[in-house]
Amino acid sequence: MTKYVIRGGKPLYGEVEISGAKNAAVAILPAAILVDGVCRIENIPQISDVTLILNIIQELGADVRTINRSTVEIDASRVRNILVPDVLTRKVRASYYFAGALLGRFGRADVALPGGCDFGGRPIDQHLKGFAAMDADVDVVGGIIEARSHTGRLIGNTIYMDVSSVGATMNIMLAATLAQGTTVIENAAKEPHIVDLANFLNSMGANIMGAGTDVIKVRGVDRLSGGSYSIIPDQIEAGTYMAAVVATGGQLLIKNVIPKHLECITAKLVEMGAKVEEMDEAVRVTRTEPLIRTNVKTLPYPGFPTDMQPQIVACLCQAEGTSVLTEGVWDNRYRYVDEFRRMGAQIQVDGKVAVIEGVDHLTGAPVEACDLRAGAALIIAGLAAQGVTEVGQVQHIERGYEDIIRKLSGIGADIHVVITPDEENHTQAAG
């Protein structure tokens, strides 16, 4: 078994470079299926979710060329396969974007229901409703989403989203790009990665307006031609390193960011007593004073991101006084709280509300990551704690953070990977 072993209690100093946005990459890469030509995609994060998405693209018949560590070229002109099997989708939730991309290009798609982090009910009903509104027959048979357009090409329509769903907004955009006529998505989600997907598609020849607002209009085009595109920096990765320095103390220069995307995170960290200096493509975060309690409610963008909820809890655990955190997006995002309690945190959860009583210090303990962001939060807690913390189930963390051990070690963290002999032997035997 692989673990991260952390000796905590050291402040963080130095600078860290942020990778491309996970949530943008896992939609933009499937979008390449819509392109009739070669598209070059840059600033791709090296994370396991991206590897899995690229595997699916190859499995569908596209040619994928790795140019360098963060750049690929995809030629999907020879793709004919419309089936994305269960063995690939169960490992990555974003595999559902292949439904929109394949349906948009071929008028047909068979995509097994996805896996990924489990936060309780994460239905895909809004995705399916959008496809149906564009004249597709949609059914879920034996765990596979089967979608068929009646004419071989989707027809644009006005779609009102019952909830502001990021995944559904992006999937409908993908499906609508090559549809006949205009699709209007009302009550659309506004997250930065939605804007990034729209910009990618537009750079390939799509006609999408309004991304970043609650009404997106997609005028269908006959084809997308190739081109180059660079993915935006990762808002959540940047926020995670901001939270890490606020939890441990110290000063970090966080480079390759879009400060505007971070304002919702910055505001809360400043309320807690941190100093944040914004530059053109970087932020400098400093924390020298004791942390102050605050209340946080997670909301869709531009509100405080749900994907930063566990990381800010790692900070609030050490703030003076009582903080109240309300989860406004997912039903079941507090499963990690028991792991924090092992480290001495005082947290009470009632439904979507967590009451956090600040403690003098956290204490190192063996803990398990139950999902991607909770895993990152446990690392932060370990960095701030006294003593040694061992974080297990790190495969969750590697889904969304490129080179996290190297990056943290570079700013003064005492963190390293330990692989137990059992796993080493198994790996050798398998090789």
Query: Residue 183: helix, strand or coil by DSSP?
Result: strand
Element (H, E) at 28: helix 22-31
On the CB side of 218, CA atoms within 13 Å amount to: 38
Residue 2 DSSP symbol = E
Asked if 317 is an active-site residue, the reply is: no
**123 Cα distance to chain centroid:** 17
Q: Residue 162 has which token pair?
A: 């019952």
Task: Indicate which residue of 39, 117, 264, 315 is catalytic.
Answer: 117
Q: What angle do CA 277, 281, 287 make, to 5 degrees?
A: 30
Q: Are strands 414-419 and 366-368 parallel, antiparallel or unpaired?
A: unpaired
HSE-CB of 50 using CA atoms within 13 angstroms: 27
Give Dmax over CA atoms of the chain in angstroms. Answer: 65
376: buried, middle or exposed (CB in 10 Å: 19+, 13-18, 0-12)? buried
CA distances 282 to 112, 138, 260, 285, 287, Å, are 40, 45, 10, 10, 17
DSSP conformational letter for 203: H
Find out whether 299 and 309 touch, Cβ atoms under 8 Å: no
Catalytic positions, written as ranges: 117
